[in-house]
Amino acid sequence: MTETVDAQEITDDAFLGGALRLLQPKSGYRAGLDAVLLAASIPCGPALEQCLDAGGGVGTVGLSVVRRCPNATAVLLERASKLVELAEENVKRNDLADRVKVFSGDLTQSWNEMAGHGLASDSFDHVFANPPYHVDGRGTPSPDPWKSTAHSMPEGDLDLWGRLLARMAAPGGTGTLIHKADALGLVLGAFAGRFGGLRILPIYARKGEPAIRVIVQGTKGSRAPLVILPGLVLHGEGNAFTPEAEAILRNGAALNLGTA
């Protein structure tokens, strides 16, 4: 581990039943179910497909997509230098350096700057993000700066995520976000006029309870109507995962939203 990341501050965690080994901060933001569910929802086709993971963190989503999809390549865009370093290490230790690249940058960069990093507009088959869920100034901020940055953003910034995804997606490409269920209106607003044919997948902790998350996926340029899918239930009796959730989280199964 390099000088900027203390080995005592990180953990080495298994994802997808051990198919991925990822280093991530011991405290602060830690990837979990949401990242794996988002990755499972990205379409995986027979052709060579390029993906953009916006706000890639330590690489959980992008690396999970590439591990599942043998013809996919990915670019991870992350602004936090500590997470960029961990993402680069995760790419190498999972032997994916020939298919995954990590870039340091954020949503406020100009398009020219992104192009200078090799991130061309209208070029990605699939663009996706697991953005911060909370708005700055609402609630008590975390004392951990890494967790605070990853969990909250300025009010209105979700539209910037939608704008970035739409700018980078190729015509006919998919854009996908996972968010809290009560933020569905904001997600739809961020996708409005940018992605059509929206597919909404509610995610439930248990059957009969309100949804806790939504995955929204659309196609750039599509005029197909919005569809609300039946949803995914994570837990059955006790705290055990349902068979469908187990297949996704442990075995790397796909979560098909029907956009491709």
Q: Give the domains, in start order, of the chain with CATH numbers.
A: 7-192 (3.40.50.150)
The answer to whether 207 and 214 have CB atoms below 8 angstroms apart is no
pLDDT band at 255 (very low <50, low <70, confident <90, very high): very high
Q: Where does 3-156 have alpha helices with state H?
A: 33-40, 60-68, 81-93, 111-116, 145-151
Higher pLDDT, 150 or 260: 260
The answer to whether 151 and 132 have CB atoms below 8 angstroms apart is yes
First to last CA, the chain: 39
The backbone torsions φ and ψ at residue 164, rounded to the nearest 5 degrees and listed phi first, read -60, -50
pLDDT at 105 over 60: yes
Whole-number average pLDDT of the chain: 89
The answer to whether 252 and 64 have CB atoms below 8 angstroms apart is yes
pTM exceeds 0.85 for this model = yes
Would you state the pLDDT for residue 3? 44
